[in-house]
Chain A
Amino acid sequence: MKNRQRKRELTAIAFILPNFLGFICLTLLPVCFSFVLSFCEWNSSNPMKFVGIDNYVGMINDETFRISMKNTIIYVLGTVPTTLFLSLGLALLLNCKIKGRVFFRSIAFFPYVASLVAVAVVWNNALFHPDMGPVNSLLSALGVTDPPRWAASTTWALPTVIGLAIWKSMGYYMVVYLAGLQSVPQELYEAARIDGAGAWKRFVNITWPMITPTTFFVSIMLTIGAFKVFDTIYITTQGGPGRATNVLVYYIYKSAFVSFKFGYASAVAVVLFLIVLLITIFQFRTEKKFVSYL
């Protein structure tokens, strides 16, 4: 009996091992290395010099770090709740029995599939072009005398990027929500209907509680994704104008690969890791309070 158990374990390990070894070599070791590096000064060629917590102390007086942190927080607050509610709304709409449902679902999912580079060009060079874009033409037609200059202005650049990010990822989370909605038992709705509950009551008392596991998953994925944002910034604004859209990961990239301060970049990365870790722990702690598993 015991032998058999061991055999089963071995088989399991055999299947897990390749992936796990890859994880150790390509993720875990670099992460540990980065942690060690955060206490050193290193430009990738000179011998590593241990500097204690200098890199962390340096962050306190680093204005660019503060700006990047502020922008990251605005980006997270701007994207996470909006994407969550908009994708839920889309899912609710496209879960109804309407004509052309599959067509509309495809349209909503399309931005997620499209290449970010192409989407960014359409967004900034066409739609939101400060002088010739249809958005500003529409605003002018509606009587707005001085429409925002979007990605070209320090005030509006971050909201423009946030808008792009929401639009791009909405379709994906809509699909996740659709799956959640399909799993809600129909008999609950039937029972509620018989009791005379309206659409809003049914949503608040049945749909919302039943899809809380999905909401929990979506909120965690969105939060982690938003803290990690890099590609959208790199492609659209490169952190500009000035430092208006400089976020933490973009700052890490620039510190490491433009200024060759790998130690400092690692320290910022460790701080980012701790923030994401704390928030995720907090989310898991509150899971019991608002997530109901039937």
Chain B
Amino acid sequence: MKRKVFSYLLIAAMVSSLFAGCGSKADTPDTSAASEETQVEEVKEEETATEDSVEDVTIRVSLWDYSSTQYYKDQIAAFEKAYPHIKVDVAEAPAGDYEDMIITKMAGRENYDVVFTKGLPSLSALISMNYVQPLDDYIANDADFDKSAYSNLTDQMQMNGKTYGVPYRKDNILLYYNKDLFDAAGVDYPQDGMTMDDYYELAKKMTSGSGNEKIYGAHLHTWASCVFLFPRRVGQFDPWGTDKSALKPYYETFLKMQDEGLIMDYGTLKASNTHYSGVFYNKQVAMMEMGTWFINMLVENADFNWGVCSVPNVDGVGNTCAVGGVTPVMIGAYAEHPDEAWEFIKFVTGEEGAKILASNGILPGYSCDAVDEIFDALPGAPENLSDYLSADTFYVDTPLNPNGKEADSIISEEHDLIMTKSISVDDGLKEMEERVNAVIE
């Protein structure tokens, strides 16, 4: 009998412990945190009640790499100082897991007030799943918000006629060059408004040596965007469009450069996961196309003189338009304090926030003279750097589209095939067209 009771007990204990383990993990810390918060708020309310009657609010902000990124902390500290009644509670994930984390959390109706994402493809996904709110009312009714300070980027964060994000960071794609290598070779520096032929000729002049001593005239990193942003910058290419023929001259030029050893072999770079920064720091390449995030990396790592100019294109269009990625910030669908979230967004994407980003070498979505001055004063920066930070016509690298992520991976696959010469340029572009059209509809 005793044994029977024991076994029942054992079963009961194990089942209950199991279900305890199954219990929603998020609930437990949340409630305790919430109760702590309310306690804290109550205390504060009592303190401030005599001074003013504004209620303290805590907004939840979702970010990646918060602990290791100083400018987030500086911005939040500045915001809390400017808005003493709003406290910021940060939820973070490592950069690599962030996009999966945010989708999973939002599927669980997490009440994030402010949501950052790493780029437009993941913003598209969040919009098509209804995890973020339209911001049009805020933009239209808030006199403090100046849309024109973001080039024309806010308008490119629209889907189905509604605006969902404000550009927190942007990145302009530039051509970086190693001035020391050009000086040593006695070749003139690259100029704005080069054609692809000029670029090829220049790379040819700058290629020298062999084996470990070899200097490549140019460098093409392995992302598909490294090719398609050339025509995209001058408005001749839409990644989700039906026609991919604009890419042909670019692929032909780069394949020719690869064959002649003016750029490193694509397949090798890809298979060995070679990072673009190393080859530039090691003075192995004379020119490289990269985003403005590279400025800060160069300031910290380059022990040579470097310069920038606009990237070439078939028509030789100079520094009049720009292309690059955008890091948007949004209000979450289940936000409990959307108004305070908007204040936060306006602050971090506005002039105050922009200055903090710029002083960390990060290009903010917001353009102003103060930002330009900070960039020009960066140690080792070329004197004309601020000319290249923004442009009146600014194309986002990939427009918002619910199926953008899938189409993007198709473009990458076909790019792989073309650059490894597993398929001809024409056939590759045809396949790219067919497959992208099938996904975009």
Q: Which A residues lie within 8 Å of B107 (CB)? A: 44-45
Q: Are B409 and A254 in contact (CB under 8 A)?
A: yes
With CB as the reference atom, state the residue of chain B lying closest to A10: B7
Q: Are A241 and B129 in contact (CB under 8 A)?
A: no
Q: Which A residues lie within 8 Å of B422 (CB)? A: 153-154, 241-242, 244
Q: Are A241 and B11 in contact (CB under 8 A)?
A: no
Q: Are A242 and B268 in contact (CB under 8 A)?
A: no
Q: Are B4 and A129 in contact (CB under 8 A)?
A: no
- A214 at interface (Cβ–Cβ under 8 A)? no
With beta carbons under 8 angstroms apart, the residue of A10, A13, A46, A129 that contacts B268 is A129
A228 vs B128: C-alpha distance when bound (angstroms): 31
With beta carbons under 8 angstroms apart, the residue of B3, B130, B268 that contacts A7 is B3
Given contacts A21-B15, A241-B416, A242-B417, contact A124 B405 (CB under 8 A): no
A258 vs B409: C-alpha distance when bound (angstroms): 9
A131 vs B403: C-alpha distance when bound (angstroms): 37
With beta carbons under 8 angstroms apart, the residue of B100, B265, B273 that contacts A125 is B273
Q: Are B18 and A22 in contact (CB under 8 A)?
A: yes
Q: Are A152 and B413 in contact (CB under 8 A)?
A: no
A153 vs B423: C-alpha distance when bound (angstroms): 11
Q: Which of B105-130 contact A (CB under 8 A)?
A: 106-107, 125, 128-130
Query: Per-residue 0/1 for A99-129: is the Cβ within 8 Å of any B Cβ (1 yes, 0 no)?
Result: 0000000000000000000000000110011
Q: Are B11 and A17 in contact (CB under 8 A)?
A: yes
Q: Which A residues lie within 8 Å of B11 (CB)? A: 10, 13-14, 17
Q: Are B271 and A257 in contact (CB under 8 A)?
A: no
- B171 at interface (Cβ–Cβ under 8 A)? no
With CB as the reference atom, state the residue of chain B lying closest to A241: B416
Q: Which B residues lie within 8 Å of A13 (CB)? A: 7, 11
With CB as the reference atom, state the residue of chain A lying closest to B128: A43
A11 vs B22: C-alpha distance when bound (angstroms): 24
- B14 at interface (Cβ–Cβ under 8 A)? yes
- B359 at interface (Cβ–Cβ under 8 A)? no
A2 vs B196: C-alpha distance when bound (angstroms): 90
With beta carbons under 8 angstroms apart, the residue of A21, A128, A258, A259 that contacts B18 is A21
- A57 at interface (Cβ–Cβ under 8 A)? no
Q: Are A151 and B271 in contact (CB under 8 A)?
A: yes
Q: Are A129 and B128 in contact (CB under 8 A)?
A: no
A13 vs B15: C-alpha distance when bound (angstroms): 12
Given contacts A44-B107, A152-B267, A240-B270, contact A260 B129 (CB under 8 A): yes
The main secondary structure of chain B at its interface with chain A is: helix
Q: Are A241 and B10 in contact (CB under 8 A)?
A: no
**Which of A45, A63, A124 is most buried by chain B, counting CB atoms within 10 A of its CB?**
A45
Q: Are A241 and B272 in contact (CB under 8 A)?
A: no
A219 vs B414: C-alpha distance when bound (angstroms): 36
- B103 at interface (Cβ–Cβ under 8 A)? yes
A63 vs B414: C-alpha distance when bound (angstroms): 14
Query: Per-residue 0/1 for A232-257: is the Cβ within 8 Å of any B Cβ (1 yes, 0 no)?
Result: 00000001111110000000001001
Q: Which A residues lie within 8 Å of B131 (CB)? A: 45
Q: Which A residues lie within 8 Å of B18 (CB)? A: 18, 21-22, 25
A45 vs B130: C-alpha distance when bound (angstroms): 7
Given contacts A7-B3, A43-B128, contact A154 B420 (CB under 8 A): yes
Q: Which B residues lie within 8 Å of A260 (CB)? A: 125, 128-129, 405
Query: Per-residue 0/1 for A23-38: is the Cβ within 8 Å of any B Cβ (1 yes, 0 no)?
Result: 0010000000000000
Query: Per-residue 0/1 for B299-320: is the Cβ within 8 Å of any A Cβ (1 yes, 0 no)?
Result: 0000000000000000000000
- B55 at interface (Cβ–Cβ under 8 A)? no
Q: Which B residues lie within 8 Å of A257 (CB)? A: 100
A14 vs B420: C-alpha distance when bound (angstroms): 59
A254 vs B408: C-alpha distance when bound (angstroms): 12
A154 vs B414: C-alpha distance when bound (angstroms): 12
Q: Which B residues lie within 8 Å of A254 (CB)? A: 409
- B406 at interface (Cβ–Cβ under 8 A)? yes
With CB as the reference atom, state the residue of chain A lying closest to B100: A257
Q: Are B14 and A18 in contact (CB under 8 A)?
A: yes
Q: Which A residues lie within 8 Å of B413 (CB)? A: 239-240, 242-243
With CB as the reference atom, state the residue of chain A lying closest to B270: A152
A220 vs B7: C-alpha distance when bound (angstroms): 37
Q: Which B residues lie within 8 Å of A263 (CB)? A: none
With CB as the reference atom, state the residue of chain B lying closest to A26: B22
Q: Are A14 and B129 in contact (CB under 8 A)?
A: no
A-B contact pairs, 6 of them (CB 8 A): A45-B131, A46-B130, A152-B420, A240-B270, A240-B413, A241-B420
Nearest 9 pairs of A and B residues by beta carbon? A152-B267, A45-B129, A242-B417, A259-B406, A154-B422, A152-B271, A151-B271, A241-B416, A18-B14
Sample of 15 more A-B contacts, CB < 8 Å, known A18-B18, A131-B268, A242-B416: A10-B8, A17-B11, A21-B15, A43-B128, A45-B130, A46-B130, A131-B265, A149-B268, A149-B420, A151-B271, A152-B265, A154-B417, A241-B420, A243-B413, A259-B406
